[in-house]
Amino acid sequence: MTSGTKILVTGATGYIGGSVLSRLLQRADFASFDIRVVVRSPEKAKKLEDFGFKSIIGSITDEALMVEAVSDVDVVLALADSDSLVATQHTLKGMKKRFDQTQKPPIFIHNSGTAIYMEYANGMRSTDTVYDDMNPDQIETISPAQIHRGVDLEIIAADKEGYIKGYVVVSSTVYSVATGPLFDAKVSNPHSVQIPAHIRMAIARRQGGMIGDGKNVWPNVEIHELAEFYNILLNTCIQSPNTLGHGREGIYNLMNDEYDNYQLAEAISQALISLGLGENSAPSTFSAEEEKKYLGPFAPAFGSNSRCLANRAKSIGWKPVKTTKDMLASVKPEIEVLIASGKTAMFDFSAYLPQNADK
């Protein structure tokens, strides 16, 4: 990256944000960059400053704070909330101000998710529909009402207007316990949502569970390989921007393999047996009562399909090697970490509903 590049990062205390920042800290030229982070906790802000980041204490939904912070940087890495339309609009307002001042479009890199490709199947089947990130015409057939999609479209529209260069990174099921300096310092959360949610439900019922027959299929990506993609994308955005698709051609799927939900539920069941916490090495279908108790309005999503290809992401030099075998092998160690840290309580899924993203 160009020395002195100003980068603003949101989501530093999260799983993906902490992993990306930990990867940037490994760069030999890290000290030459001006990396700022928006964080709500003064205590964590101080810890981030100790690592060489500049902290801005506040919320991503604070318009004045975000517009001012964004208008002073070259790049924004939005890693906090895939569904915060308010935060995205504040960021775009700051970027428009930056563009008006410099006549150079700043870079907006946003973390979205493969839930944009969801097709409901009640866990009873897979699908032949596979979304290729090299095919923007296909991706444009997705309904604007699909989860995450509304925010993605705001960024693509701003790119079309010409005052930003927008990149939407579509993360799939991200797995394994994140490691790195920000996790060692207890700044960032080392766990994803999707697989730990399955684990917590399985601990409660002493057996892995699934919607229907668990035949629905999702893509996956390992967290440290995901962080490496962000490092590559940043480099390419700044050093060779004319070689890189952006806007409607700037969708980058992050996946390297697929799994069906029976495989995941079975791996969790077997891990629980080996740890003395399970009653059956084979998974079972959630009852209607369990779906309501554990998943609520998210039950259809846990029985859905989401299939895609990462051809565009791999075309810029990303070379992931971890597969579903690695994902399944990560289950038992993650259970052990969750138990040791006392993090086995059920998620409050209501916090992840799109309408609650800005609350």
**DSSP letters for 196-239:** HHHHHHHHHHTS-EESTTS--EEEEEEHHHHHHHHHHHHHHHHH
What are the phi and psi torsion angles at 196 (to 5°)?
-60, -30
Q: Please tell me the predicted confidence (pLDDT) of residue 1.
A: 44
* Residue ranges, the chain, pLDDT below 50: 1
Cα dihedral 147, 231, 23, 323 sign:
positive
What is the total count of domains within the chain? 1
Q: Please tell me the predicted confidence (pLDDT) of residue 353.
A: 54
Residue at 18 is within a domain: yes
In this structure, are residues 37 and 13 in contact, taking their beta carbons and an 8 Å threshold? no
Q: Counting Cβ atoms within 10 Å, is residue 246 exposed (0-12), middle (13-18) or buried (19+)?
A: buried
Residue at 214 is within a domain: yes
Residue at 224 is within a domain: yes
Residue at 212 is within a domain: yes
Residue at 1 is within a domain: no
Q: Please tell me the predicted confidence (pLDDT) of residue 242.
A: 86
Distance between CA atoms of residues 268 and 201, nearest Å: 10
In this structure, are residues 125 and 304 in contact, taking their beta carbons and an 8 Å threshold? no
The angle at the Cα of 333, spanning 325 to 11, to the nearest 5 degrees, equals 90
Residue at 40 is within a domain: yes
Q: How many CA atoms lie within 13 A of 248 on its CB side?
A: 11
Tell me what percent of the residues of the chain surpass a pLDDT of 70.
96
137 lies in which domain range?
6-356
Of 175, 186, 218, nearest in space to 13 by CA: 186
In this structure, are residues 131 and 214 in contact, taking their beta carbons and an 8 Å threshold? no
Alpha carbon distance, N-terminus to C-terminus of the chain: 35
Residue at 301 is within a domain: yes
Q: Please tell me the predicted confidence (pLDDT) of residue 241.
A: 84
In this structure, are residues 153 and 144 in contact, taking their beta carbons and an 8 Å threshold? yes
Q: Left, alpha or beta for 32 (phi > 0: left; psi -120 to 50: alpha)?
A: alpha
In this structure, are residues 98 and 72 in contact, taking their beta carbons and an 8 Å threshold? yes
- Which pTM was predicted? 0.95
Q: What is the DSSP letter of 127?
A: -
Q: Please tell me the predicted confidence (pLDDT) of residue 312.
A: 98
Q: Please tell me the predicted confidence (pLDDT) of residue 290.
A: 96
Residue type (1 letter), 99: F
pLDDT tens digit sequence for 120-161: 999 999 999 999 999 999 999 999 999 999 999 999 999 999
**Residue 221 is part of a domain; what is its CATH number?**
3.40.50.720
Of 165, 315, 308, 170, nearest in space to 247 by CA: 165
Segment holding 107, helix H or strand E: strand 107-113
C-alpha torsion 57→58→59→65, nearest 10: -110
C-alpha torsion 56→62→64→65, nearest 10: 10
Instruction: Please list, in sequence order, all residues whose beta carbon lies within 8 angstroms of the beta carbon of residue 144, skipping any fewer than 6 positions away.
Output: 150, 153
Tokens of 156: 């693509």
